[in-house]
Amino acid sequence: MTDSFDPPYPNYDILRKWDSPSYNQITRDVLTERLTAVPQRQFLDEQEWRLLQAICDQLVPQPERTDPVPITPFIDAALTENRTNGTRFAGIPAMREAWRKGLAAIRAEAMAQHDTDFVSLDAHRQEALLHRINDGDAEPAHWDGMPAQRFFRSVLLKEVLAIYYAHPAAQSEIGFGGPAAPRGYVRMGADRMDPWEAPADRRNR
């Protein structure tokens, strides 16, 4: 994936509000931890980790960033702690097993289609392969009874997006107001913003 993302709020950074009343103490604590203590690999093995990283690069490509938002480490951390999300859809095993199985299946898909590891595929092929799964065209044989599309959308993609868009860099890029306690907002109408929000969308100016 080479075409890149053109940010509508290029100079906006919600972290600049750090010392303002938009951030309360617990928000600072939570974000400090997220930004400074990126977890180390514990649960996944090295191969799985690299595979997951390659997948994440396709799900949320960040070619323009020198310091991309880390995603894999937080998935690994959640698996280490055996976190669950409250729903286990039929056919999908418990979280840890589901991820292992899903990664193995994607590796198998790559092997079957291209005779090589997913990680070594070029970006275009990687993306196409993931699209097939997303569109429901995975090869059931590789998935050992696990519904591939459901795993892809409801487990994998959801978790990746939850991690990415919880990151200040991702929130800045879409012009989200970001943390807002105790200070919230005053100006509620269309095209009206408070001075502590992102300035108007570049495309609208």
Partner 1 sequence: MPLVEHLSPRAIAGRAPDVFRHGGWVPMREYGDDEEVDFTIVGTGAGGGTLAAKLAEAGFSVVALDAGPFWRPLEDFASDERHQDKLYWLDERISEGNDPIELGGNNSGRSVGGSTVHYQMVALRFRPEWFRSRTTLGYGHDWPVDWRRMWECYAEVEDALKISGPLTYPWGPKRGRYPYREHELNASAEVLARGCEELGVDWSACPTATVSARRGLSPHCVYRGFCKIGCATNAKQSTLNTFIPRALAAGAEIRDLSMVTRVETGADGRATGVVYQRDGQVRRQRARHVVVAGYSIETPRLLLNSASPKHPDGLANSSGLVGRALMVHTNHAVWGRFQEEIRWYKGPPSLAVCEHWNYADDEKDFFGGYAYMSQGPLPTDFAKTLAESEGIFGTELRRRMADYNHMAGLKIVGETMPQERNRVELADETDRYGVPLARVTYSMCENDRQLADHSLEFMRNALSAAGGQELFQSGGTAHLMGGCRMGFSREDSVVDGDGRSWDVGNLWICDGSLFPTGGGVNPSMTIMALAVHIADRIKTLAGQDAL
Partner 2 sequence: MCLLTDSAMKNAPDCRRFTCAPSSIGSPAPSDRGTETGLTTGRVLGALGLAAAGFLVLRAAERNRLQPQKQADRSRRADAAIQMGRASSLLAGSVFADSAMEHLRGGYHRRAMYVAPAMAGATLAASTSSRARLSRRNADLRDGIYLAGIATGLTGLGFHLWNISKRPGGATRMNNFFYAAPIGAPGALVASGLYGLAAGRLVRAPQMTSRQEGRLVGSMTALNILATSAEAGLLHFRSAFQNPVMFLPVIAPPAAAVALAAAVARPGRQMIKIARAACGTTVATGLAGAAFHVWGVHRMHGGWHNWRQNLLAGPPIAAPPSFAGLGLAGLGALDLLEMEAQP
CB of 145: closest distance to partner 2 in angstroms? 45
Residue 192 interacting with partner 2 (CB under 8 A): yes
CB of 201: closest distance to partner 1 in angstroms? 6
Segment interacting with partner 1 (CB under 8 A) among 17-25, 37-45, 46-54, 99-107:
17-25
Residue 187 interacting with partner 2 (CB under 8 A): yes
Segment interacting with partner 1 (CB under 8 A) among 39-47, 65-73, 105-113, 191-199:
191-199
Quick one: what does residue 18 bind among partner 1, partner 2, none, with the CB cut-off 5 to 8 Å set by partner type? partner 2
Among residues 1, 4, 5, 24, the one that binds partner 2 under rule CB under 8 A: 24
Build a one-symbol-per-residue string for 108-137: x at contacts with partner 1 by CB under 8 A, - elsewhere: -------------------x--x---xx--
Question: What whole-number distance in Å separates Cα of residue 110 and Cα of residue 124?
Answer: 13
C-beta of 10 vs 45, nearer to partner 1: 10
Q: What is the DSSP letter of 142?
A: G
Where in 125-184 is the site for partner 2 (CB under 8 A)? 181-184
Q: Do residues 28 and 87 make contact, with C-beta atoms less than 8 angstroms apart?
A: no
Question: What whole-number distance in Å separates Cα of residue 102 and Cα of residue 114?
Answer: 18
The tokens describing 62, both together, are 């960040």
The tokens describing 186, both together, are 């005053």
Q: Do residues 179 and 27 make contact, with C-beta atoms less than 8 angstroms apart?
A: yes
Quick one: what does residue 19 bind among partner 1, partner 2, none, with the CB cut-off 5 to 8 Å set by partner type? partner 2
Output the CA torsion 20→26→32→33 (10° steps). -170
The tokens describing 65, both together, are 């960033």
Residue 15 interacting with partner 2 (CB under 8 A): yes
Q: Of all helices (H) and strands (E), which one includes residue 71? A: none
Question: What whole-number distance in Å separates Cα of residue 196 and Cα of residue 16?
Answer: 10
CB of 125: closest distance to partner 1 in angstroms? 14
DSSP for 106-122, please give it.
Answer: HHHHHHHHHSS-GGGS-
Quick one: what does residue 196 bind among partner 2, partner 1, none, with the CB cut-off 5 to 8 Å set by partner type? partner 2
Q: Which residues does 109 contact at the CB level (< 8 Å), separation at least 6?
A: 118, 129, 132, 133, 138, 139, 142
| Residues at the contact surface with partner 2, assessed by CB under 8 A | 15, 18-21, 23-25, 28-29, 31-32, 35-36, 181-187, 191-196
